Amino acid sequence: MNNSYSYLLGVSLILLATFITAVSQIMLKKSAQKTYKEQIAEYVNPLVIGGYILLLGTTLISVLALRFIPMTLAAALDSTGQIFVPMLSFLILKERINRQKLIGMAVIIIGLVIYFL
């Protein structure tokens, strides 16, 4: 496999895993915001089960990605989760993104740009 193709594949897989992790976190929060008649339903419902299945999938995707990229790069790209979660929270949960979150997201983006330069 071409070295640049392998690198791009690894980066893509890590970003995909990080995005899916953010989606699973939103699913778990949506479930936590609901009230349930029975306590067991808090843990056994489609949002919770789906969220944890996605988290398991992201673990497998991340392990696969580490075959193509170094761990240091994967750790740096994992920080994009701190961008994906607030953005999805804004879009799906209608949560506000305050100034601190915006500054934090900007710092992460700047850090990634510096890492790749």
Distance CA 35, CA 68 (A): 43
Residue 102 CA neighbour count, 13 Å, CB half: 5
Which sign does the torsion angle of CA 68, 2, 108, 29 carry?
negative
pTM summary value: 0.91
Other beta carbons within 10 angstroms of residue 17's beta carbon come to 25
pLDDT of 16-70, one tens digit each? 999 999 999 999 999 999 888 888 988 899 999 999 999 999 999 999 999 999 9
88 has a pLDDT exceeding 80: yes
110 has a pLDDT exceeding 70: yes
Domain ranges of the chain: 3-116
